[in-house]
Structure 1
């Protein structure tokens, strides 16, 4: 048996095309879980002589997305009941009451939540509404035509009304300080100087060994973390993805360089050729010697690149993108100079160039 159950409304830029992003759909699964647990609670409250709900009470209940109507994104959720639940009929009313109670809970001030809504179920809001961004809302219809409006801030307040911490999606970046192989975690130094422990799958162990303790390589962590009421990060609960950007400062610099357009320098500068720039970027980011300090990279007005190091002899390299050639210069001992040209057309050429840099770029003494 199928009947219309509820039609929430998502608002925000992501929903203007009347579509439902995949990551938002998980909110509807979390909503279904909340309805089921709340319906169980309501049933047991009215049947104190029972320890459990009737067999099939929840397993024969589920919500399906029947359609998405215009007006931002308005998915119509249909109640599908089967088995004994469909035959008896009475139990289905607990799900409808749970639906109404959730909407009332969302609409009410956190200091005056409905007495029928148990505090221990507020933890469901760690999942329900977690995908909402700051400019988005989820509206649940109430009796009388009004709505309860769930925002990221309201979701946080609902969880903290019963818990010390709340969960939210995170996208963290930093460097691996150290790893604990037994616990399968690593300590991440964040960009703001803070630290947090991150769980890692066994498949990431080899990368953690490769990039651990090397600040120039940035690790991006996407997952779920807990925060306190002051929005201070407590710990990463789970990880959805772990990615590494090698030689992150170089990668960021090339992202800027590829955006240059002709006229960038006092109206006269030639923008570097994007295809040639991409080749150089790939080589420098992917294969730059680990023990050699990273250079500063600047565009030149004629459309090429200048690399400079704060190192002994003030070394620099001019890279001619069109000719695929690098020209090295530095001041050597006894006022002498070191000059060397390198072709950069093949992998072997780049290998020779990097070997030369490894020998001649010496960090200045502190």
Structure 2
């Protein structure tokens, strides 16, 4: 086997400062290998126009990671070719510099990345540009993948934007990793898919696992429940979503705005109010958060939730009669107050300690806050 160092792809950016290689970038190296093989085959056929295909065994090569070097994250790759196959390429009087074609392919790929998308090397196969749908897909905005010759002082630098340009040079669409969120607008149980409303102008069809259907039905049409999808999506040159190709994860977060609100409350420190103000007890806060997120009525308007200086919470609804609820976290007591008619205040206390109390509390809120809004 040939064990010389073939290439040293270098990843730079925040995830690589510890000089380790995240598993998520392994797909980039696999894509580089596939691109390398395609370009090497193209170069051989360009040199041998009389042939329709490369010799048997020509593409039977692979890249191995020999080790990881420091300096952000540098993967030292070796080009491995089976000795038996290399010998076959010299049979019948045809001597082929198999490794030479892969070296040329490596350098041509680097040249392609270095070139403007509208002025690519003439000998680079345009069809191979689709490989950039995969090569560099894991790169985030602050990350790069440097490719080039071993010991080349000026390697080619691939960014997420550059790979987009390269794909669009050969296609009307390109693919990238996404994290999308929206609410469920429609479910197609027959096709095991749902339609997400991402914003006012954009929807997306997402396939879903069979065990996700019942959960999806519970959130159908509820704009407060957010579906989060991580996967691969297709976009056009105007950055308009075309479709979701595949997903790695899909989950529903019930009452997402409340989740965010309670998460922010859990992060405040003592002294948050002009040097005073106690931090809410985290265990007690999470108990109340779970009640609110799980049981808050869909048709009841969301309150603003603010911490009080004594380490508790105040819920407020911005209506004419200003209904509010003081929550004592330790005792799980909810004290409702609103300004009623004829100078008669509406007041009532609830203990949020069991399901019956909780149902009574939310039924009371649904009745009185809606009445006060009318």
CA displacement at 1:272 relative to structure 2: 1.5
Alpha-carbon separation, structure 2, partners of 1:313 and 1:123: 61
Alpha-carbon separation, structure 2, partners of 1:100 and 1:88: 26
Q: How does 1:286-301 map to 2 (within 5 A)?
A: 286-301=294-309
The residue number in structure 2 matching 1:302 is 310
Residues 1:7 and 2:14 aligned together: no
The residue number in structure 2 matching 1:130 is 137
Deviation string 1:268-317 (CA, Å, 9 cap, x unpaired) is 22221222111111111122233333222121222111112346854321
Alpha-carbon separation, structure 1, partners of 2:18 and 2:282: 34
What is the TM-score of this pair, normalised by structure 2? 0.88
The residue number in structure 1 matching 2:25 is 24
CA displacement at 1:247 relative to structure 2: 0.5
The residue number in structure 1 matching 2:62 is 62
Query: Quick check: 112-121 or 136-145, which moved more?
Result: 136-145
What is the TM-score of this pair, normalised by structure 1? 0.90
CA displacement at 1:363 relative to structure 2: 6.0
For the aligned residues, what is the CA RMSD?
2.4
Alpha-carbon separation, structure 2, partners of 1:16 and 1:282: 37
Deviation string 1:210-231 (CA, Å, 9 cap, x unpaired) is 2121111111121122223333
CA displacement at 1:234 relative to structure 2: 3.0
For the residue of structure 2 that corresponds to 1:130, the secondary structure is coil
The residue number in structure 2 matching 1:255 is 263
CA displacement at 1:19 relative to structure 2: 1.0
Alpha-carbon separation, structure 2, partners of 1:188 and 1:312: 35
CA displacement at 1:43 relative to structure 2: 2.7
Q: How does 1:1-366 map to 2 (within 5 A)?
A: 1-3=1-3, 4-58=5-59, 60-82=60-82, 84-88=84-88, 90=96, 91-142=98-149, 145-191=153-199, 193-203=200-210, 204-310=212-318, 314-332=322-340, 336-362=344-370
Alpha-carbon separation, structure 2, partners of 1:130 and 1:254: 34
- Partners of 2:136 and 2:160 within 8 A in 1: yes
